[in-house]
A and B are shown apart, each in its own frame.
Chain A
Amino acid sequence: MTKVKIIGQSITRFGELWDRSLESLFEQAIWESLISIDGPVYQKQIELRKYGVTTQIPRFDVRQVEAVFVANMSAQAFTGQSHLGALVSQMLPHNPPAIRVEGACASGGLALVAAQQALLSGQYKTVLVVGAEKMTDVSATQTTKILSGASEYQSEYGSTFPALYSLLAQAHMDAFGTTRNQLSMVSSKNHAHAVENPKAQFRKKISADVVGRSALIADPIRLLDCSPVSDGASAVVLSTKNIKRYQGKPVIAGFGHAQDTLNLADRKSLTELEATKKAGQIAYRAAGIKPKDIKFAEVHDCFTIAEILASEDLGFFTKGSGGTAAEQGQTTYGGKIVINPSGGLKACGHPVGATGVKQLAYVASKLQEVQKKRVYALTHNVGGSGATAVVHIVRNGIYEK
C-alpha cells in the first residue's frame, strides 16, 4: 500500500511581521522545508533568494519537487496579490506546476488533501505544500470584513466570525452548562503551551481570570477567546518514494475531509460541527485507530468554544464534557490528551492560509522526537463556522520501511 511520508517541514515565526512581505514568507517556508529533508550542503554557505530571504543550499535536489500546492485565503484582499501558483512556482528553479487552493481557514488542510490525492493517484511522487497569509497590513476592521467572506455573505450579512461562534457557544452553554471559566481555561492553557514554542506569536502566560475580563467582542466571546490576526507561512514536503533515507520519517496514516452547510442557520445542530465529526470518522477509519490512540492533537481553536467542540466531535471527550475536561486539565500535559501543544491558533497564531499546513508541520516535527514507541497525532483544520473540516492522523516513522 502506498504511504505518504512527511519528509520535510518548516514553520516561519508567526506574528505581526511588519518587515516581512507575503512573498518572503512563502520563500522562507519553502526553502527551510527543503533544507529540513537532508540538511544543507554547507553549514555556512548563504544564498540570497529572490524576495530577500537568506538560506543555505539544500542537499535535497529541489527538482524532485514535481508540483506545488499553495494554500491561501485572501492574498488579493490583504495585499493585492493573486495568481499565487505562479508566484510560488517561480521561487523554485525549475518552475514546477503549482495550484492555489482556497477554503477559508481550511485552505491549508484542503491543499494537503489535494496534494495527497495527487500522490496517491500516482501522478506525482514528491510534492510541496505551502501555506501563507499576510494579514497585518490592513486595519482590524478591514480584516474583519475580509474574513467575513468565509461566511455565506448574503444570508449571514451583519455577522462576524466571533458572532457566529458566540451563537455556537451559547447553544453549548444552554445545552450542557458550559461556563465562562471553561472557555477561559482553553485560552489560558494554549497560552501556557505557546511559551515553549519559539515560533509562536504570543509566548506569554495569561490567567483564566484575565481572559474572562478581556474586552467583549460578541457576547460571550471576549478578546482573549479569539485567535489573533497573524502573518506567517508553513510548508511540508510529501513523498511516496520508498527509499532508505526517508525511513523513519512521519507517515500520514489517514485523512478525512467533510463539508456542512455554509450558513449556520441551516445546520441540524448548533452544539456540534458535523463536518468535523465526519472528517474525523473517515480519518480514524483510514488509520485503523480510535480517538483514545491519539497522544496529542493540533485542533482548530479559532475561538475557545471551537476547541471544546472539536475535543468532543473528534471523540476525545463525550458530547457536552469538553468544557469540564478543559477545566480539569485533561487537555494538557499530564491529562488524557495534549491538545494544541504549539499554542494552537489562539497563542501560536492564525495566518489563515498557513494554519492547516502548520498543524501538520508541527506534529511531524514533534513525532520525529519520539523514537522508542509508535505514537499517533491528529490535526484538525476548519473553514468558516464549521462548513469545511479536514482531519489528518499522523504516526511517527518507527517500524516504518
Chain B
Amino acid sequence: MKNSNPAEYFRNSKQWNQALGETGVVLQATTISVSSPELQPFVPYDYLLIKLDSQDQKIISAMGADGFIFSKGDRVRMVLKKIASSASDDIIPYGLKAEKISERIDA
C-alpha cells in the first residue's frame, strides 16, 4: 500500500496489522523490470500472489523484499519494508512486502 500523505499513512497502517507477520505460500510470481518512477530504485523486484496460512487462506498480492528470488511454492512471511522512493522531507513510505522463509518443496 502506498502512502502519499499522513492521513493515508494512518489509515493504511491499520491494514498492515491484518497481514504483518503472517506466513503463506507464493501462488504466482513475476519479476518486474520496468516500473513507475517511485519504484525505479527497486527494479528489478518481484511481485507475488500469496495465499496466507491464516485468515481463511486469503489471497493477497505484494512486492517481494529485496535480496530474494521468488518462485511458485516458496514459503514467505509478510514484513514491513520501504515500498517507494521519497524526497528526504517526505514520510518514509513503508508497507507490506514478502520475505522468503523457505524454498518450494516438491512432493
Any B CB within 8 A of the CB of A90:
no
Contact with A along B32-48 (1 / 0, CB 8 A): 11111111100001010
A116 to chain B, nearest CB (A): 35
Given contacts A162-B34, A167-B49, 14 further A-B contacts (CB under 8 A): A141-B36, A144-B34, A145-B36, A154-B2, A156-B61, A158-B39, A158-B63, A158-B83, A159-B61, A170-B29, A216-B31, A217-B32, A218-B31, A218-B33
Q: Would B33 and A167 count as touching, CB distance under 8 A?
A: no
Contact with A along B7-45 (1 / 0, CB 8 A): 000001001000000000000111111111111100001
Chain A contacts for B1, CB-based, 8 A: 154-155, 157
Chain A 245-275 per-residue mask, 1 if CB under 8 angstroms from chain B, else 0: 0000000000000000001111000100000
Cβ < 8 Å to A, chain B residues 60-93: 60-63, 72, 83
Complex-state Cα separation, A334 to B49, whole angstroms: 40
Q: Within the complex, what minimum Cβ distance (angstroms) separates A274 from chain B?
A: 15
Do B36 and A148 have beta carbons less than 8 Å apart? yes
A166 interface hit (Cβ, 8 Å): yes
Q: Across the interface, which residues of A come within 8 angstroms of B37, CB to CB?
A: 141-142, 145
CB of A317, distance to nearest CB on chain B (Å): 23
CB neighbours of A266 from chain B (8 A): 59
By Cβ-Cβ distance, the 4 closest A-B pairs, closest first, are A145-B36, A158-B63, A166-B30, A167-B28
Is there contact, CB below 8 Å, between B40 and A141? yes
In the assembled complex, the Cα of A266 lies from the Cα of B56 at a distance in Å of 13
Chain A interface size band reads 20 to 34
Contacts known (A141-B36, A144-B36); A158 close to B60, Cβ less than 8 A? no
* Known contacts A154-B1, A163-B47, A218 near B61 by CB under 8 Å: no
Which A residues lie within 8 Å of B15 (CB)?
154
Interface string of A345-377 (1 = CB under 8 A from B): 000000000000000000000000000000000
Q: How far is the CB of B94 from chain A (nearest CB, A)?
A: 12
- Which of A157, A159, A215, A266 has the most B CB atoms < 10 Å from its CB? A157
* Tally of B interface residues using CB under 8 Å: 28
Whole-angstrom CA separation of A264 from B39 in the bound complex: 20
Per-position binary interface string of chain A over residues 147-176, scored 1 when its CB falls under 8 Å from any chain B CB and 0 otherwise: 010000111111110110011001100100
Centre residue among A140, A167, A264 by max chain B CB count within 10 A: A167
A167 to chain B: which residues have CB within 8 Å?
A: 28-30, 47, 49
Contact assessment for B49 and A264 in the assembled complex, using a CB-CB cutoff below 8 Å: yes
Residue of B nearest to A152 (CB): B61
* Contact A216 B33, CB 8 Å, known A158-B45, A270-B28: yes
Closest to B50 in A: A265
Q: Let me know if A137 is at the binding interface, CB within 8 A.
A: no
Docked CA distance A216–B44 (Å): 11
**Which residue in chain A gives the minimum CB-CB distance to B93?**
A157
In the complex, are the beta carbons of B28 and A171 less than 8 A apart? Answer: yes
Query: Could you say which residues of chain B place their CB within 8 Å of the CB of A263?
Result: 61
Q: Which residues of A contact B40 (CB under 8 A)?
A: 141
| Contact pattern, A 6-38, Cβ under 8 Å of B = 1, otherwise 0 | 000000000000000000000000000000000
CA A163 – CA B63 in complex, angstroms?
11
Interface string of A198-230 (1 = CB under 8 A from B): 000000000000000001111111000000000
A282 → B minimal CB distance (Å): 28
- Enumerate chain A residues within 8 angstroms of B95, measured Cβ to Cβ: 157
Task: Evaluate whether A170 and B30 lie within 8 angstroms (CB atoms) in the complex, with A154-B2, A163-B47 already known.
Answer: yes
User: In the complex, what residue of chain A is closest to B97 when comparing beta carbons?
Assistant: A158
Closest chain A CB from B43 CB (angstroms): 10
> CB distance B61 to A155 under 8 Å?
yes
CA distance A157 to B45 in the complex (A): 13
CB contacts (< 8 Å) of A141 on chain B: these are 34-37, 40
**Residues 113 to 155 of chain A near chain B (Cβ within 8 Å):** 140-142, 144-145, 148, 153-155
Query: Which of chain B's residues have a CB closer than 8 A to the CB of A144?
Result: 34-36
Q: Inside 8 A of B32's CB, which chain A residues have their CB?
A: 158-160, 162-163, 217-218
